[in-house]
């Protein structure tokens, strides 16, 4: 019988680990890595055999529908390409030396992890999964809090070891998590400045803690997100800001260290290169000097800091956006296309990760998120005043129409998204006509009231030069202060009030 799923959240606690316990944990993580690689190789082999079978090829030729799906299920069952079939394969590790370092539930979860990676590859959602090299497997988890890795009072118990957790009793987030029921426990390793730090992630039942300062607004809002900017339009707010601008660009420093690392690698392994500098084909043993390891550690530390800053910036921006309204409308974009076209910007700002965080936090806060198809709406081409579509190059950052509507392109797209009718994915023309005068005045007030900040230049995608605005590099913002300048519009159903979460 299928078990009903319940909402979950994670409570993260640092662990106090002695040198002896660290050595044991490193051995167990390496054992988990070998189990993962074995299960991954077996899954890839079964997938390849299944794809080469006549049964699978005949299923591919059928029309999409129930019959085709049933044929694929039969092929998967015949060639044992399933999660539980892989669990059966992984049972053998319980009776080997690996079973001395891992419990049966942890081995099953590792097998599930390997199968999910191959399954995503089989459906074309991810690239081919790679095998984990030495020191590259950083987490292991159980299936329940009854056996295997368990949480007891203030410590984690696992195969004869007890790891005491460092608990900040003054942190309401931590105390809220400790009062919730623990479903299962995950042990995670993080590498900070070349040293191992271990954490316990308690997967708890329920909704995550909501801080009192993070309020949820009321009313619809539209969001237009790009590789480097984000525009938000709600009932009371018009915002156009550089996206994750506080995340520093470490790319020049990373490139310098990568060149240094390549020189060290070549100096330490001259026999692994041809005369033209290319790497010789075949398996090679690579020697690493202590200085080369230090360079690798520096690169890893820089990337870790950048990822932490990005995650923090995303969290602050999501909390701010949720305070503007309780109905979010956003375009459904292909962030893989963003990677191909704006690789450096996407690597630094991670818009796809931001949208996933926004949807996750909105769901836990009871906020509706509606993603609408770009191809059907074409808001970047639409003018609501005369209901016409006109293609514009990306370099044109302002919408100018003969009907008299002039607006910054990103803000205008966010405004049209706010006026979308979710049930039909079409523009609510009457609502847009009523709302536009107020939004237009707020947008103009925002653009004209920008003040210089940090001496940075505005992003080119804003379509505003520094000489035109004299202005801010950090954000364009107008909030409730413009109430005295222009009245707010009242959407259907009236203007909502801000409520606490």
pLDDT digits (tens, 9 = 90+) for 97-151: 999 999 999 999 999 999 999 999 999 888 999 999 999 999 999 999 999 999 9
Q: Give me the DSSP letters along 262-321.
A: HHHHHHH-GGGB-TTSPBPSS-------HHHHHHHHHHHHHHHHHHHHHHHHHHHHHHHH
Residue 334 lies in a domain: yes
CA distance 437 to 482: 13
Are residues 57 and 173 located together in one domain of the fold? Answer: yes
pLDDT, one tens digit per residue, over 390-420 is 888 777 788 888 787 888 888 888 888 898 8
Query: Which residues does 482 contact at the CB level (< 8 Å), separation at least 6?
Result: 441, 442, 445, 446
Q: How far apart are CA 466 and CA 188, in angstroms?
A: 47
Give the span between the Cα atoms of 382 and 328, in whole angstroms: 20
Q: Contact 261/276 with Cβ under 8 angstroms?
A: no
CA dist 282 and 271 (Å) reads 13
Q: Of 205, 230, 256, which closes a domain?
A: 205
Predicted pLDDT at 399: 81
Read off the tokens for 448. Answer: 């004209």
The rounded distance, in Å, linking the Cα atoms of 400 and 404 is 7
pLDDT tens-place string over residues 298-344: 999 999 999 999 999 999 999 999 988 889 999 888 877 777 778 88
Asked if residue 140 belongs to a domain, the reply is yes
pLDDT-derived band of residue 4, with 50, 70 and 90 as boundaries? low
Do 201 and 161 share a structural domain? yes
In sequence order, which ranges of 343-428 are alpha helices (DSSP H)?
343-349, 351-365, 374-377, 409-418
- Asked if residue 213 belongs to a domain, the reply is no
**Within this chain, do residues 432 and 336 fall inside the same structural domain, yes or no?**
yes
Alpha carbons 72 and 87: distance in angstroms, whole number: 20
Is there a single domain that holds both residue 177 and residue 153?
Answer: yes
Q: State whether 101 and 230 are in the same domain.
A: no
pLDDT of residue 467: 44
Whether residues 247 and 147 share a domain: the answer is no
Whether residues 304 and 180 fall in one domain: no
Asked if residue 23 belongs to a domain, the reply is yes
User: Are residues 141 and 49 part of one domain?
Assistant: yes
Q: Is 234 helix (H, G, I), strand (E, B) or coil?
A: strand
For residue 501, tell me if it sits in a domain.
no
pLDDT tops 50 at residue 197: yes
**Residues in a beta bridge with 224:** 231
Q: CA 32, CA 50: separation in Å to the nearest integer?
A: 27
> Cβ distance 501 to 265 under 8 Å?
no
> What's the pLDDT at 344?
82
Q: Write down the pLDDT at residue 333.
A: 82
75 in the same domain as 134: yes
Number of other CB atoms surrounding residue 434 within 10 Å? 15
* Separation between Cα atoms, residue 462 and residue 478, nearest integer Å: 16
The answer to the question of residue 210 being in a domain is no
Please tell me whether residues 409 and 261 are part of one structural domain: yes
- The pLDDT score that the predictor gives to residue 499 is 41
Q: Which domain holds residue 334?
A: 220-273+290-484
pLDDT of 427 strictly over 90: no
The whole-number pLDDT of residue 53 equals 94
Query: Is residue 489 domain-resident?
Result: no
Mean of all residue pLDDT scores within the chain: 85
Instruction: Please say whether the beta carbons of 36 and 28 come within 8 A.
Output: no
Same-domain check for residues 245 and 301: yes
Secondary structure (3-state) at 118:
helix
Backbone angles phi, psi at 129, to 5 degrees: -65, 150
- Distance from chain centroid for Cα 496: 30
The answer to whether residue 283 sits within a structural domain is no
Asked if 13 and 91 sit in the same domain, the reply is yes
Tell me what percent of the chain is helix, strand and coil, each rounded to the nearest 5.
45, 20, 35
- For residues 95 and 256, give the distance between their C-alpha atoms in angstroms, rounded to a whole number: 48
Q: How many domains does the chain have?
A: 2
Phi-psi region of 165 (alpha: psi -120 to 50; beta: other; left: phi over 0): beta
pTM of the model as a whole: 0.80
Q: Is the pLDDT of residue 295 over 60?
A: yes
Q: Is 366 left (phi over 0), alpha (psi -120 to 50) or beta?
A: left
Buried b (16+ CB within 10 A) or exposed e, 71-106: bbeebbeebbbbeebbbebbeebeeeebbebbbbbb
CA angle 298, 300, 302 (to 5 degrees): 70
């Amino acid at each position: 019988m299928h078990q009903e799923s319940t909402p979950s959240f994670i409570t993260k606690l640092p662990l106090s680990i002695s040198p002896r316990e660290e050595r044991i944990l490193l051995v167990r993580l390496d054992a988990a890595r070998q189990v993962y690689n074995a299960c991954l190789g077996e899954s890839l082999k079964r997938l390849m055999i299944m794809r080469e079978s006549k049964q699978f090829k005949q299923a591919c030729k059928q029309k999409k529908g129930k019959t085709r799906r049933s044929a694929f299920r039969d092929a998967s069952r015949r060639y044992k390409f399933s999660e539980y079939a892989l669990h059966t394969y992984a049972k053998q590790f319980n009776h080997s030396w690996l079973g001395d370092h891992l419990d049966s539930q942890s081995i099953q979860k590792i097998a599930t992890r390997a199968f999910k990676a191959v399954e995503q590859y089989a459906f074309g959602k991810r690239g081919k999964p790679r095998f984990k090299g030495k020191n590259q497997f950083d987490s292991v988890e159980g299936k329940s809090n009854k056996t295997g890795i368990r949480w007891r009072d203030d410590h984690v118990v696992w195969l004869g070891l007890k790891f005491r957790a460092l608990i900040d009793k003054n942190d309401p987030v931590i105390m809220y998590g400790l009062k919730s029921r623990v479903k299962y426990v995950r042990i995670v390793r993080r590498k900070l400045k070349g040293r191992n730090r271990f954490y316990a992630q308690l997967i708890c039942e329920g909704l995550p803690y909501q801080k009192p300062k993070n309020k949820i607004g009321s009313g619809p809002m539209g969001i237009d997100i790009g590789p480097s900017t984000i525009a938000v339009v709600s009932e009371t707010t018009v915002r156009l800001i550089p996206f994750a601008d506080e995340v520093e660009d470490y790319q020049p420093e990373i490139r310098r260290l990568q060149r240094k690392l390549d020189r060290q690698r070549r100096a330490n392994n001259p026999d692994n290169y041809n005369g033209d500098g290319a790497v010789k084909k075949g398996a090679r043993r690579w020697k690493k000097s202590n200085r080369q390891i230090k360079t690798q550690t520096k690169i890893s530390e820089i990337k870790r800091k950048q990822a932490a800053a990005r995650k923090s910036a995303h969290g602050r921006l999501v909390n701010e956006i949720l305070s503007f309204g309780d109905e979010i409308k956003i375009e459904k974009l292909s962030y893989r296309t963003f990677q191909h076209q704006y690789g450096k910007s996407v690597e630094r700002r991670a818009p796809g990760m931001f949208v996933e965080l926004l949807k996750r936090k909105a769901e836990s806060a009871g906020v509706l998120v509606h993603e609408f198809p770009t191809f059907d709406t074409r808001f970047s081409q639409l003018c609501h005043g005369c209901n016409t579509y006109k293609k514009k190059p990306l370099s044109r950052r302002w919408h100018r129409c003969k009907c008299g509507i002039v607006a910054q392109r990103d803000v205008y797209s966010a405004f049209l998204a706010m006026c979308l009718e979710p049930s039909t994915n079409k523009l609510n023309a009457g609502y847009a006509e009523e709302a536009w005068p107020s939004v237009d005045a707020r947008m103009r007030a925002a653009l004209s009231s920008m003040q210089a900040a940090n001496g940075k230049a505005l992003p080119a995608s804003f379509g505003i030069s520094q000489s035109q605005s004299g202005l801010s590099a950090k954000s364009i913002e107008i909030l409730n202060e413009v109430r005295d300048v222009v009245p707010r519009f009242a959407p259907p159903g009236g203007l909502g009030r801000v409520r606490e979460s």
